[in-house]
Every structure is written in structure tokens, then in C-alpha cells.
Structure 1
Amino acid sequence: MRSGKLRPWFALGGPLLAVAVLTAAPAGVKAGELPWPKWLVAGVVAAGGVLVAVWTPLVKARTDALAARTTRATERDAQAEQAFNRLPTRKGKVLLVQDVTDSALLGVHEAIPLPASSTSEHGLSAELPTYVLRDIDADLRTALEARSKTGGFVLLVGPAAAGKTRCAYEAIRAVLPNWRLFMPPDAATLTELVTGGADLKHSVVWLNETQNFLTGSAPLTAATVRRILADSARPVILIGTIWPSIYDQLRTPATSTRGENEDGQDLNNDAQEVLELARRFSLGNSG
């Protein structure tokens, strides 16, 4: 439960008490047969009636607004919970970067199988064989280290089988092993987590095959990405991979109506903005 949910209801205490007092006051004055002049009693009763008539609709409007706000918050909580349930977890908790060794879960292309003797004798992983560092790794890890303080978006661009996904994972495992690893299956899940107020502090959001998050019926928007990265005191790192051809395609304004909606707006516009937010690292012959 979020802290502060009940506070708005306490704010109604004063107005509700005022309405109750004002409603009861005229009757109390009449019933008490106070030794006041009749004109004064009549004035008190009339004033009380006017104040009740004014305050009651105001209190009702405030009550309705708070009820609607609570309903929306409840709906957002439910939405975020449903999205969370679509994430890979362990015992109901988001996985840590260092705990993930399943190549299929990461989206790493299957490597040539190692002999059983090699994995047992040398402590090698059949899922993730020994990683060989490449020139890009030092710069990538330096960038992640810097962004671990403020958050940011890192994108690896390279052709098929260039090792983008494995490179990305080895980088976050080296730099951010104790961070949580959110692996949304689609853009809608990530959007629901964000709009539902999920706590993403010190989390890596895994966007392997980033183009899948930027296309389709409910793509990831630049507004959502900016919201994720907005609070530098609660750093979040997005890391993704994409082919050069698709990267260029998504960054190119539409040149025909096939790339525009019925209002003539460029369907690639949001994808362009999202990609512009990322620090690009190129692998292989990606230019």
C-alpha cells in the first residue's frame, strides 16, 4: 500500500464536522429555549440553513473527487500487479542481474554445445559459456557505471549474431550485479508498471530486440521512457539491442502515407524520440 492513501479522507473531517454542527445548530437553538431574543434565534437558524446549503454540495463534491481518486489509484495498483505477474520472478520477487543465467530467458542465441566434461571439469556454464571481452566492453561498462548514479538508456546496435545480447548482459552483470532485472515481455507491460507506480529504483529494464517495444499496437512512448528516467535520485537503466537496418528505419521520417496515420502524423515519431534518448554502442559492421 502506498503511504498517504488515507490522508485525503482525513482532510474531509473538518468540512464534515462543520456540516454536522451547522445542521444540528438550528435545532439545538430551538430545543434549548435559550434566553435569546427571538430575532437573534431566527437569525442563527437562518444563517445555519444558508451555511448548510452552501457547505453540503461542496463537501459532496470533495467526497466524490476523493472517491474517484481512490478508485483510480486502486485500478492503477491492480494494473501494476497484473503487469508484475507477467515478469520473470523468483519466489514472487524480481530477479537480480547476477541470478540470471538462462540464455533463453535473456534472448542470447544458443552457443555451440560444450562437452559435458568441459562444463564439469572447468566450471564452465553450458548455458552461458565463457565470455571473451571485446573492444566495446570497456566503454560500455564505463557508460553503465556513470549512469548507475543518475539513470539512463544504453542501446547496442549490431547485425544478427554479433553478440549484442550477451555483451549487454555481461556488462550489467559486471557493473550492476545486485540491481533488479525487469524483463517485460512487451511494451504494454512496461507501460503498465510505470503508470501503476511500480518502484524501479536501482533496476535494469531489459529491452532485448528493442524494435519489438517500439512497434505494434501499443508501443513504448518517449513520454514513458522520460518518466522512467526523470528522477535521477532513483536511477533506472534501460538497456536494449537492435539491428542497424531497423534502427535506421525507425529513425527515418515516413516518406509516404504508409508510414503515417489518418491525420498525416509520422508513425515513427515516437520511436525516433525514444532512440534519440539512448547512448548508442555499435557492434560488428553496424556503422
Structure 2
Amino acid sequence: MIRNLIFRIIKVTSLVLTFLTLSLAGLCVLAPSISAEEYDQVIVLSKMMSVKEDDKNQAITDALPIALSMALTEIGITPLDARFASATFLEDDQTSPEMIEALQRYDAERTGRLLILEVSVTPDMSNPELMTPIVSVIDVKSGLIPAIVSTLPVLVPLDHASINAAATALARSVAMRMDENGYIVKPSKIKPWGGVARKVRLALEGFNGCEQQVLLTIMEEEFPGFLGIELQKAPNPDYSIYNYHTTATKQRLNKWVRLLMAENQASMSSSTSEKVRLYAQKEGLRLQKIKNTVIFRAECGG
């Protein structure tokens, strides 16, 4: 009897081990790991110009790629240094024929795709003193341009606040376009901008209906970590309170809103001479427009 009992225990144990082995094997087939070579990569380069730019425009052209790389890193996209993907003698980080050829050789050795984020500026048609930043997303293997993004013009001479605001807006747009086109970059181990899902109370005072709609649309489509938004109450047309659901920290939301206002040339301060005030409160953020001016002129006129 004891011998039969031992035999049954061994048989059952063997069946359990076989089942676990097959189950784990099935999981490995269903969810294969992605190696570092299979992730897509991005490289930030300046557009090669046929003629030399003047000193004012050159300052923006030199500063914008650096600011864009920093902004991408903040939202979890780490650019590749071109020096590690190209020939060592290529010191100028521009989309020259030699650089393109070197990157094509590098891309041919990888499974994942390589994207060039080509940064350039162009004069604003209505005001030549304003320069519009542009980023062209170029697939090195195919030569296709899956996306071109831009932001509001930057005032010349160089304004660091405007450059940082433009770079942040461009980084958000690039990340969204890459996601729409199926590009997958290696995720950061810790997202510096986010964490657990949270609800942030967002109060908008002094913004008309059009301005509220534009602001909320940008926060929905471009701010990382967005989950949803709902109207809590609107006592009057220029005052509304929303519940903004996100995985981004309140500190990051504070920074992104400030940069968004700076991008739209709405300076922010606690002074009554400024256009907009931003208060970080315990429950959320309170955005108060001081002067009776239109913030989003392109969309809402004024």
C-alpha cells in the first residue's frame, strides 16, 4: 500500500511539473522579450543649410537641438548620440550626405528602426523677426518622413524661455506622432514625469470658451500621461473647474502649463502686470488670466 501511495505521489508530481513547464513555454512564445537591438532609436540633428545663417538665427539653430534632446529625455525618450552611430570624423551634427550615409550603415546592422529628428527654423511669413521651429521625423531605412511638427514662432534675438517652451512642445508632438506611426523606443526604467494615476483639480479663471477648449485639447493630445478629463462645474462662461486624470506628477503639470503659456507669449507671474497667474494648490492647479487679452490668438483671434 505504501509503495502504491509513493508511486501515485511521484506520478502526480511529474504531471504537475510537466504542466508548469509547458505553461511557461507557452508564455514565452506569447510574450517574447524585446532585445535592445529591436527598439527604435532617435537622433537629433540640425538641418544642413546651403547658405550660412546670420548670427541671430544661428543662435536658435544651435540651441534648439540641445533643448529638444533635454525635453525628449524628460518624457522618457533618450536620444542616441550621433557620434556613436556615425564615422568618428563627422564632427558636425547636421544632416549632411556623409552623416546620412553613416547612419544608414549603422541602421542596417540593427533590427529596430532609426529616426532622425531634423531640426530647423524658418522665418514667419507675417513677421520676419519671428522664427518658427520645425522638426522633420525621417526614417533612415526608407527615407520616408512620417511626420513634420512645428510650434509657435520664437522671437529673435535668442530667448531661452521661448526656446525651452518650443522644445517641450516639439518633444510632446514628436512623441505623439511616433506613437501614431507605430515606433517603439526603449522605455526608461523610471518615467521622470509620472507615477501612479491621480486626479488633479484644474481651475480656469478668465478664459473664454475658445481658450478653455484650446488649452484642454493641448493637454489631452500632447501632455504625457493623460487619462481623461471631466467638467466638475462652470458657474459662468469664463470660470470652469475640471477633474484632470493623469499619471503625470503635479509638479510636471505645473511646469508644462507654464511652458505652454510661455510658448503662447503669455508671461506668468504673481504680479498684476502679467497676463496669467498659476497657483499650485493642494488639490490641483489654478490658472487665472489677469488681463482681458486673448492667449491663443491663432485659434481664438484677438
TM-score, length of structure 2 as denominator length? 0.30
Greater RCO (Cα-Cα under 8 Å, separation 6 or more): 1
